[in-house]
Amino acid sequence: SRFETCWPALMKDSHGVIIIFNPDLPSHLKEIEMWYSCFVQQQPLLDSQCLLVAHHKPGSAGDTENLPLAYPLNKLKLIHSNLEEDPEDVRMEFIKYFRSIINIINENREREEMAIIS
């Protein structure tokens, strides 16, 4: 894509990646593999630092049970967002995700401080 030259700047010092996609578009299922490869695996970030959000448009009869995600995407935390039906659920999942990222940052900082001391 034409923004690829900006990717290194976007990735620098990032602690988490949220990939939002439209599960009704088969092309998106292929594209998120590329996003995962570039933004998570190449950094490298832990899978727990990545959140997949399958966003269902209003009125789409989205199947939230069986998304044909291939390995390694099927290892990632996946939430379905449908802001018409359950915005609160999505909000709670985001809060959980941000808490987990903060925990990882704090653990890394403590590890670095211990390394300096010892």
Q: What are 6-44's pLDDT values in tens digits? A: 888 888 889 999 999 998 888 888 899 999 999 999 888
- How far apart, in Å, are the Cα atoms of 13 and each of 20, 43, 104? 20, 9, 13
Residue 67 predicted with pLDDT over 90: no
Question: Would the pLDDT of 56 be above 90?
Answer: no
Domain edges within the chain: 4-117
The region, left, alpha or beta by phi > 0 then psi within -120 to 50, assigned to residue 69 is beta
Sequence-distant (6+) residues with CB within 8 A of 62 are 23, 24, 54, 56, 80, 82
What Å distances lie between residue 26 and 11, 20, 51, 70, 99, CA to CA? 26, 14, 19, 13, 31
Lowest mean pLDDT among 63-67, 78-82, 97-101, 104-108: 63-67
Distance separating alpha carbons of residues 64 and 82, to the nearest angstrom: 10
Kindly report the pTM of this predicted structure.
0.83
